Amino acid sequence: MADAGAAPEIDRLPGWPVPEEQLAWHGSTEAEQVLARAYASGHMHHAWLLGGPKGIGKATLAFRFARHVLANPEPHTAPAAGLAIPAEHRVTRQIAAGAHPNLLVLRRPYDDAAKRFKTELTVGEVRRLQRFFGSTAGEPGWRICIIDPADDLNISAENALLKMLEEPPERGLFLLVAHRPGRLLPTTHSRCAALSLKPLEPEAITTALATQLPDRSGEDISLAASLAGGSLRRAILALDEERIDLLRSFGDIVSRLPDIDYRKAHDLADAAGLRGRDAEFEGFIDVVEDWLDRRVRGLPEPLGAISPATESASLATWAAVWDKVQESTLQAETLNLDRRQVVLQVFMALEHATRM
């Protein structure tokens, strides 16, 4: 049981294992085999940049690879077909407990005074690498650093990391997780082997949810998977009881466009826009942006029927609504505006777009 006074674990989702605990792999077999073959070859690159959208398993793959390397310290004896290590293996248990001496994980630190995670991964955190690689190894074999995500590095921290990447320690391995690899410096890219992960297929997400959450209805799981955009994390968040209700409420309201039931819209604005409901508001904006994305791309609508007025609206119309949503959201965050008004403005923008 976790210490009640301990700092929370960043990005932990209730009822779901964090990447260091997750043994199942729901992503690409090919991506897994690229790493397994590279290690078994004995000529593996010392740094890997694992890129792709948030929530598709990049950190899970990084820890999976770390377990593989630490459990098989000699590359020539390591299997090249995959990265699985048994749950009962000593390395598996140590990594899950955050107790393996040859693994360092760098994430945004928790600010005890402010009771929140810092907004950046700072140079002070990166300097821990000097002690980690400069001291005697806790165990023989490889020493591994996972940076999750590298997007959080500020410029000073990234420059400090570059010095380590340019002169890597012997038997040192760096695994950089990046949701938006393009934000990293070109020199960081040049020091890493890149492995881009693709969004998960809806079937893979459905299987993962059904396995981990057997008590959830198949209807809820199917809806969450279809709306996840290939992100298992987004599907898990969608299955929150309030979030799934929000999804269905939004779908019910927009199915009648250009007619808006503003009683229901006000109810949804209260559910998503009241103070303290940050996750619900973020979820609402995600739902709107996903819905607009499906209109632009002509994709099927899992949330319900599409009205004739919605079907006939132009791409330029939806682009204008997208801009309005982005502008309203930014103003709400910058000026600390009433988020309920933002929700209602979204519905007014949708109504206006489909009456044109």
3-state secondary structure of 119: coil
pTM for the complete prediction?
A: 0.82
Q: Partners of 116 in the beta sheet?
A: 111
pLDDT score at 244: 85
Q: How far apart are CA 96 and CA 99, in angstroms?
A: 8
Instruction: Dump strand ranges (E) for the chain.
Output: 47-51, 103-106, 110-111, 116-117, 143-147, 172-178, 193-196
149-194 pLDDT per residue, tens: 999 999 999 999 999 999 999 999 999 999 999 999 999 999 999 9
The residue-averaged pLDDT of 84-92 equals: 97
Q: Of 239 and 106, which is predicted with more confidence? A: 106
Question: Model confidence at 137, in pLDDT bands (50, 70, 90)?
Answer: low
105-124 pLDDT per residue, tens: 999 988 888 788 888 999 99
Written as one letter, the residue type at 248 is R
Question: Model confidence at 3, in pLDDT bands (50, 70, 90)?
Answer: very low
Q: If you ran DSSP here, which 8-state letter would residue 82 be given?
A: -
Mean pLDDT check: name the lowest of 88-102, 159-173, 295-309, 336-350. 295-309
